[in-house]
Structure 1
Amino acid sequence: MKTSTTVQTKDRIIDAAIRLFNQKGFSGTSVREIAKEANVNVAHISYYFQGKGGLLEHLVSNFYEGYIHMIESQVHHMEPCHARECLLHVVFDILSYQHEHRQLTRFVYREVTIDSTLIREIMSTYLTKEKYLFQLMIEKGKNTHVICEQLSLSSFMIQLKSLLMMPYLQPQYLTEVLFLNPSEPYFYQMYYKELCRSLHHLLEPKEQSLDVHMNLIMSSN
């Protein structure tokens, strides 16, 4: 059974690692620096995470565990005729999740650009599962004629992932060039509306108002 002291120690290590990995990169951060930042003994990192590599695996895996579970919970309750609405709801939930964990999100998205054994495993499990879940929503939507039948899954995923990841990979650009504050809740809510307008050109049906879908989803959160 985990004690409160154990949880607090692990949480301090995780928070310190996220801060330092974002500032100095994974390779540029030492275990001693993490321990000092977390105000714990170096041995705690080996005990709880089996070293810096284990800590990296814990951060990335936990991020995607929550990420996939969130998408699955929406898809599990999806009615085929509401597939388009479900897809847009998932997009909103992803933005909310990324905002809530924005420092970890930034680190994870930078890390998945690196070719390593860990990231290959992440790709073959979590990110393959993510593609499957979006494919399921799109196919259900096509079958019920609420999503464009000509929509390409690969093209859609490239555009969607780019739109979802960019604000967390480039926060300085948003702050210093566009004068936006990505740490404020209003940012992702505003960004969601703009993102939906981009997705509107890919999704069907055209006869339904995009504003109806956006307002319905945001009012339910």
Structure 2
Amino acid sequence: MAEDNRRWGFEEAEDWEQAPPPAPAQDDGCAGTEDSGAVSVVVELDGRVRAVRLAAQWRDVLEPRSLGAAVVSATTDATMRALARAVEDQGDLTAIAPPSPVADLDEAPFTRADAERLFAAVNAELAAFTAELDRLTNVPARAESRGGHVSGTAQAGRVVAVEIDGQWSHAAPNPEIEGELTEVLRALHRTPVAQPAGPAIAQLQALASDPARLLRKVGLA
């Protein structure tokens, strides 16, 4: 007798019940759009651009010469959403955690010369921090795509202008335009300086956070 290989549906139901459900996609990005909805930009929570997306028929609602301004608007919207999300996730950003204790801070007496050297080193680290902050804040960042059709400018970490070759964007396929836009916006992103840091600043913070040790160091305890 020939083997009966027919399935009656029960086995398929059992297979379906045993198969694990697909894991939900993890997406920590924030999407922003401009007024027409033809352009959207997705950024990470730290502001880095993940992708630029154009509606299939974006030219029906936007002039190619207006595309750059629309990209700036969508990028700003996405960045503000990411900032709001980061504030919500992190809680009160005004609460500053106390500095970590410096385990190898010695107990030797602190002389006037030691204090002068420490404060000189702290001032040098603060000057370096201020110079870097000024560079990131005041010096405009410029970037151009490798294809040469898109360029952009950022000031103080914010994209303020995107220039696009209008003749190219009038006929180029969407994926090509999206690619060059994403490339430029990523290049314009600069990681902000969080706070002053350095070994001298760490030592001063450690002394200030431990009054008993500070008194011993200066010979008052």
TM range (shorter): under 0.3
- Structure that is richer in helix per residue: 1
With normalisation by structure 1, the TM-score equals 0.28
TM-score (norm 2): 0.28
Question: Which protein is richer in strand relative to its size?
Answer: 2
